[in-house]
Amino acid sequence: MSTQPVAGGEQVLIRSARDVTDLVNSGAARGSHAKVIVLLALGGIFLDAYDLTSLAYGITDIKQQFGLSPVGAGTVTASISVGAIFGAWLGGVLVDRLGRYRVFMADMLFFVVSALGCALAPNVEVLVVCRFLMGFGVGMDIPVAMAFLAEFSRLKGKGSKGSRTAAWSPAWYGATSACYLVIMALYFALPDQHHDLLWRFTVGFGAVPALVILLVRNKYMNESPSWAANQGDLERAAEILRSSYGVNAVVAPDAEVAGTQQAERRGLRDFARLFHRRYRARTVQALTIGLAQTFGYNAVAYGLPIIIASILAQGALNTITASLVLNLVFAVTGGLLGIRLANAAGAWTMTFSGFAVQFASLVVLALIGEPSATAYVLFAIGALGAFMFAQASGPGAHFMSFASLSYPTEMRGTGIGFNQGTLRVGSTLALFFFPVLSAALGSGVFWVIALAPLMGLVALLAKRWEPVGYDADAVQARWEREPAA
């Protein structure tokens, strides 16, 4: 890559895919459209969280309306996670093959159709199918959103890959809080006799932000220049740098032709690369951390209304208010702290600290049980808040960094998709069994959930790997220059 002064701005000559990645990683390219693309990617994460949360509060009304048993309720709750498993596996591969932009647009259509389908579901069978389709869209969105966050960010400093991949956490909890705000607004807007319809209106409202993103896509959204360059399309990469970053990039006459190797890979070989000796340990560790955090989070966060209702033994409004306050005060602030400390402390330290606090919080909840005295109620609420703060600032913010930043551009989508699809198995188990375990064990279920952060601590101690600040594309290029082992 070289530069030369020309009329209208300094011209940047692009000779290889590496030049494009270096330009983005250095932070020299800072176009306003690139920042909007990052915000739109976070908007996708927002939709993921909103849709996953929207039925958590309404599961009691859904059980009553459709006459569901605990197993039936678990099926409704877990159907979205089952869809996300297949969506993530397929979406991760498509993100690397078809590009980030196309998959992102498909996600938004999934969100619109499935949200409206759930809101209008006449029976539980239709609800389960629409929840599955919603989960499929969520699963597809995570790989593309995280790829956008990593590939439209610099390597180090303010707005780095580490801080922006961690930014998914406050976006997630902001969406969770927004969901409870919508529920609260509808609670006061609807007559008492129609409160059983709260969940329908809440789920249907999720189509609105997806439609907004679809409307602004033509003006702001663009493909990742790093992905285009890795496909061998340097002309397109240069055009993206000009339109999204404002960089006067042109392809040099002596530019390299690249990207043919990736186009030849098909099927299971895409996933097999994740277990190459160079990536195997990272893949296994990222997956274990993800399984640990998602099992604990899903059991506590999606069961939060049930947990709070049992602790407070109060009505629906108190449950909504407590859920909202816990998300705003503890989870959102924890997520913002996770972003701020991403570069200074690193993902490993923040994740380890978060798991440790979670484990202690769950032990406290298990020991308190179902409190009757005011002091114990406050301790239980405090422990829930500590769990959510630790989740948002630690494993919840940074497990995505392990999955997103360990791989080069050409296999990033596949790596994130495999990680997300596989760990969704853990969330499916949590969503399905939490109503059953909660009914059978009561507060003793917290002893079971406490095993999740303990597993995360063991995985982190097994390998102290730090993804923040790691240039996977540069390391991959160096490996490719080495003689075959």
Shared-domain flag, residues 236 and 343: no
Does 482 map to a domain?
A: no
DSSP at 280 = H
Does 475 map to a domain?
A: no
Shared-domain flag, residues 205 and 280: no
Please, are residues 16 and 256 in contact by the beta-carbon 8 Å criterion?
A: yes
How many H helices and E strands in the chain? 26, 3
Q: Which residues span the domain enclosing 105? A: 14-245
pLDDT digit string (tens) for the chain, length 485 residues: 555 444 345 788 888 888 888 888 876 555 556 777 788 888 878 877 787 777 666 777 788 888 888 788 878 877 887 888 899 898 888 889 888 888 888 888 888 888 899 889 999 899 999 989 988 888 888 888 888 888 888 887 777 888 888 887 778 777 777 877 887 788 788 887 777 788 888 888 888 888 887 787 667 778 888 888 888 888 898 888 887 777 888 888 877 655 444 444 555 677 888 998 889 999 999 999 998 988 887 777 655 555 555 555 555 566 666 666 777 778 778 888 888 888 888 899 999 999 999 999 989 888 887 666 777 777 877 888 889 899 888 998 888 889 888 899 888 999 999 998 888 776 677 666 766 776 677 667 788 889 999 999 999 999 888 998 888 888 887 876 665 44
Residue 25 to residue 193: CA distance in whole angstroms: 56
Into how many domains does the chain fold?
2
Q: Please give the model's pTM, rounded to 2 decimal places.
A: 0.76
Q: Which helix or strand (DSSP H or E) is residue 408 part of?
A: none
Instruction: Give alpha helix (H) positions in 405-450.
Output: 409-441, 445-449
Shared-domain flag, residues 65 and 98: yes
Does 263 map to a domain?
A: no
Does 1 map to a domain?
A: no
Dihedral sign of CA atoms 296, 115, 414, 340 in order: negative
Q: Which helix or strand (DSSP H or E) is residue 2 part of?
A: strand 2-6
Shared-domain flag, residues 335 and 458: yes
